[in-house]
Amino acid sequence: MPRITILGTGLIGASIGLALKARGPRDLEVIGSDRLRDHARAAERLHAVDRATGDIAEAVTGAGLIVLAAPILAIRELLRS
């Protein structure tokens, strides 16, 4: 099963997740991660992600593609993680 991880599940990340779920392969798994748990829960409720986690290492494990959809000032810290 192909897996894509979205780091940042706010407006941009959730929109990307919805597009992937609508147009991607049926067996695509979309994992979301966000430091703001409310954003991650909302993305799950919208079905923009299949599963959300606060653990970045868990989120990216096995991902064929990682989408950085966090605010620009948070990207550097995400890359370090």
In sequence order, what DSSP letters do the residues of the chain get, joined into one string? --EEEEE--SHHHHHHHHHHHHHS-TT-EEEEE-SSHHHHHHHHHTTS-SEEES-HHHHHTT-SEEEE-S-HHHHHHHHH-
Query: How many Cα neighbours within 13 Å face the side chain of 38?
Result: 1
pTM, two decimals, is 0.93
Task: Give pLDDT, residue 80.
Answer: 87
For 50-69, the pLDDT digits (tens) are 999 999 999 999 999 999 99
